[in-house]
């Protein structure tokens, strides 16, 4: 082989080795940075743009795709300790001709976190209403989607501001009083009695606790590498004190059953999506809502836990699109 050719391969190999070694080093040493890059990449790929809007001195961060049109816009509210990007796995399967908005809930990610903020469910509903008014989203009634804590807020929002919302999708929402407590709720009650706020299962501080939380929230057993678990923990640890404060607030007597107390006021067509194997919020909550909301459609997913959005994103998107199409006389095939 010619010496020049050998030199070319050596140089090429060295050139390729640099980014490969950088990637490996990042994966091992800074996994949290890779997780942020991952979300940035998927937002860019899916056409979701990040914007900020202010209500007085309060900042809301949100991502969006599309523009308001003849069909209702769709506002999506994430769950406890998550952020707007948790919806990306569902957005991937939603039609590109829908106007989508995913907002960071109060105190989360890019939305203002203030020690003076009211983190109760009522307080969060008022904040989301401020966000809606800042965007003038309620100029025309919109479709509201929420999961877990976000479902709690979405349901109460529909009860408090009925003229803003034309339809509602609640994915395993919190805020309901069931006939009996599951093991997770029983454990939380024991922790509350002992004031052991450091041990809340939804607020992990180690890779092992993160793995346990993923198993609690998911029916599907994801094999997550140790480095990624560490990265997920690294991203969360700076916020854990806030998460504990928020959790105690939404689990307090004032907020715990806010949706249950207001579900009779929900008058818009409502869709309930719930994983049958949910270990966090019992699936019997779907029946509770169905008995109290006149125009209510229930979809129970087999082999699915609490993290419906993560476990069954394609199915979740299809159910929302089909529900949307049935309400607004639109062929779901045209929503693409």
DSSP secondary structure, 234-294, as one string: HHHGGGHHHHHHHHHHHTSTTTTTHHHHHGGG--S-EEEEEETT-SSS-TTHHHHHHHH-S
Q: From CA 107, how far away is CA 90, in angstroms rounded?
A: 23
Q: From CA 206, how far away is CA 234, in angstroms rounded?
A: 9
Q: From CA 263, how far away is CA 164, in angstroms rounded?
A: 16
List helix spans (H) across the chain: 3-29, 31-46, 88-91, 121-135, 149-160, 183-194, 207-217, 226-236, 240-250, 258-262, 285-292, 308-311, 313-327
Write down the catalytic residue from 104, 117, 164, 278. Answer: 278
- 255 tagged catalytic: no
- Phi, psi (rounded to 5 degrees) for 308: -55, -45
- 211 tagged catalytic: no
- 181 tagged catalytic: no
CA 64 from centroid of its chain's CA atoms:
15
Q: From CA 74, how far away is CA 125, in angstroms rounded?
A: 17
- Phi, psi (rounded to 5 degrees) for 267: -110, -10
Write down the catalytic residue from 148, 167, 218, 307. Answer: 148
Catalytic residues: 148, 278, 306
């Amino acid at each position: 082989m010619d010496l020049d050719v050998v030199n070319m391969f050596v140089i090429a190999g060295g050139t390729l080795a640099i980014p490969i070694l950088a990637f490996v080093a990042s994966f091992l040493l800074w996994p949290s940075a890779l997780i942020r890059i991952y979300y940035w990449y998927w937002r860019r790929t899916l056409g979701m743009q990040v914007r900020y809007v202010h209500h007085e001195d309060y900042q809301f961060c949100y991502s969006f795709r599309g523009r308001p049109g003849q069909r209702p816009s769709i506002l999506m509210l994430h769950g406890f300790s998550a952020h707007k990007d948790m919806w990306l796995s569902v957005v991937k399967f939603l039609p590109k001709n829908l106007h989508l908005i995913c907002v960071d809930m109060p105190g989360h990610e890019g939305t203002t976190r203030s020690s003076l903020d009211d983190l109760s469910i009522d307080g969060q509903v008022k904040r989301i209403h401020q966000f809606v008014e800042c965007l003038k989203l309620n100029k025309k009634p919109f479709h509201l989607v929420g999961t877990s804590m976000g479902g709690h807020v979405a349901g109460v929002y529909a009860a408090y501001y009925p003229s803003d919302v034309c339809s509602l999708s609640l994915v395993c929402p919190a805020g309901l009083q069931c006939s009996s407590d599951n093991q997770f709720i029983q454990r939380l009650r024991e922790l509350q009695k002992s004031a052991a706020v450091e041990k809340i299962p939804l607020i992990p501080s180690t890779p092992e606790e993160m793995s346990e939380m993923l198993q609690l929230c998911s029916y599907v057993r994801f094999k997550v590498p140790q480095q990624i678990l560490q990265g997920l923990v690294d991203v969360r640890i700076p916020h854990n004190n806030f998460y504990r404060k928020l959790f105690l607030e939404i689990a307090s007597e004032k907020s715990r059953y806010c949706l249950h107390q207001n579900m009779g006021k929900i008058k818009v067509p409502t869709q309930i999506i719930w994983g049958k194997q949910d270990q966090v919020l019992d699936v019997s909550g779907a029946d509770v809502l169905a008995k109290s909301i006149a125009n209510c459609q229930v979809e129970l997913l087999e082999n699915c836990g609490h993290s419906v959005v993560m476990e069954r994103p394609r199915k979740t998107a299809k159910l929302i699109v089909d529900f949307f199409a049935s309400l607004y006389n639109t062929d779901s095939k045209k929503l693409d």
